[in-house]
Amino acid sequence: MTAIGMQEMRQADVTPVSARLAEKPVSLLQFARSAGRNMLEVIPIETIQQTYVRGPLNIHYICDPEMVTELLVGKGRRFPKAKFTKDIIGSAVGNGLILSEGEKWRKQRQRYSPLFAARNLPVLSRHFAETGSEIAASLAENEGPVDIAQVAPASTLTNISRVIFSGNEEVSSEQIRVGLIAYFNYISDISLFDLMGLPKWLPRRKWLRSTAPVTTMRDLARTVIEQRRAEGREEPQDFLDLMINALKEDFEDLETTVDNLLTFVVAGHETSANAMAWGYYLLALYPEMQHRIRDEIRTACPEDKIEFSHLEHMPLLRAHIKETLRLYPSAAFFARDAEEAVEIKGIKIEPGDALFFPVYSLHRNEKLWEEPDQYRPQRFLGAPPPRGQYIPFGDGPRICIGAQYAETEIMVLMASVLRDVHFSMSSAPMPEPVLTFTMRTSGPMMLNAARA
């Protein structure tokens, strides 16, 4: 038997931690109450056993790849984001790319798509590699137990400071760090009233604590945008420079620019951080794969900082990240509101129906994947899955604009760390997946870190 075959046999004895889905019908009130704490608890367990589940009232749970594709790419591609999604995060990200609709969205998408083009990734990767090198050095020098659920977001928070908020005289890095942490905590606190669709004039509990986290970050964003515009750099040095250059050719009012800057901050922080935390956990759980990936990284770049050009020589690391996002998709659930009647594969959808896409269930569906709960990065070394079966970044016109940016950031950070640091399991219990704004860990994720 080959070494890979023996490794796969050993891996079969270990199953990564999974979420607990709803085993009994959930009322709408139970749904609203539980979803604010953990959305995964209200997703029917049938969604991993069947590809379509009819929920209460007007809810459709969709895990059929053909239906997913038709609703995101085909007939339903213009259906708007669900109202409760807008209610939940609207106060934090305004009317930027995530929530805008129609012509306003199309103009923003066209305006900002060039920012995320592959030609800009080498410049941004140098910032990512700087952060990765610092994290690796710190872990190697301080061997022992580490909460990787804290290390991973610290990495992406540092990247945000480097590629967006760096080099500003009036705003310190500590202001940015403190402001962003409060901001992310605010938007992760999901209101029961928003989930129930109650009027916006009804006070939310978190409003009573203060909306300062949002107003503070909007003020900071406004300051750095205006200051960077005043500098007038000839050559873009980071993401904010690229963003401002794009606006020289296509005007946008300042408040919409603030909306989009914060949209990119939100999308680029939590999603990448969560993917890395789960990715390090899986490699600690499967040390043979961690050794193989480390060898691949060292072969591609034995020393110095990881460059964007090195990533094409790391197919196993890329497959590992894809498998991590299959098992633990950061955007584990999203929804659309049907605007018109459609029929797909015999399923009738009426105007006003709620279309739920439980990505977590889709990625672990027993009818679609072989050994769906097992870690098998080899799945992604060959032909890609059928369209609509694997959607960690969504699909269709509204597929995440920063998908390639996120994958690059995760790869550079993980390659920089794994080259010099080995992770192993600790005796601490592993947290479960919890879905609020994104899918994160339910508590500390303690791994042992040692110099590799």
Residues 29-60 pLDDT 10s: 676 666 667 889 889 999 999 999 998 888 99
Alpha carbon separation from 46 to 25, 60, 257, 275, 312 (Å, rounded):
10, 12, 42, 25, 39
pLDDT value, residue 273: 94
Nearest CA to 334 out of 395, 266, 277 is that of: 395
Write down the pLDDT at residue 172. 66
382-415 tens-digit pLDDT: 999 999 999 999 999 999 999 999 999 999 999 9
The CA-based diameter of the chain, rounded to the nearest angstrom, is 66
- The confidence band for 6, taking pLDDT boundaries of 50, 70 and 90, is very low
pLDDT in tens, 248-267: 777 788 888 888 888 888 77
Question: Which tens digit of pLDDT belongs to each residue from 315-336?
Answer: 999 999 999 999 999 999 999 9
User: Would the pLDDT of 198 be above 60?
Assistant: no
CB 135 within 8 A of CB 410: no
263-312: per-residue pLDDT in tens? 888 777 888 999 999 999 999 999 999 999 999 999 999 999 999 999 99
Q: What pLDDT shows up at residue 187?
A: 66
Give the number of other Cβ atoms within 10 Å of residue 336's Cβ.
23
**Tokens 């060292």 identify what position?**
298
| CATH number of the domain within which 248 lies | 1.10.630.10
- Give the CA distances from residue 2 to residues 8, 99, 125, 177, 371, in Å, rounded to whole numbers and listed in that order: 10, 50, 36, 48, 21
Nearest to 334, CA basis, from 130, 147, 82, 91: 82
Residue 1's pLDDT band, with cuts at 50, 70 and 90, is: very low
Q: Look at residues 426, 388, 353 and name the one whose alpha carbon lies nearest to residue 72.
A: 388
Give the pLDDT band (50/70/90) at residue 173. Answer: low
Lowest mean pLDDT among 86-90, 338-342, 404-408: 86-90
Range of 98's domain? 3-451
What is the structure's pLDDT at 192? 46
Percent of the chain with pLDDT over 70: 86
Instruction: Scan for tokens 């140098």, then name that residue.
Output: 126
Q: What is the average pLDDT value for the chain, to the nearest integer?
A: 87
Find out whether 408 and 124 touch, Cβ atoms under 8 Å. Answer: yes
- Report the number of distinct structural domains present in the chain: 1
pLDDT bucket at 12, cuts 50 / 70 / 90: low
Question: pLDDT tens, 153-172?
Answer: 999 988 888 888 766 655 66
- CA–CA separation, 41 and 145 (whole Å): 30
Over residues 234-244, the mean pLDDT reads 85
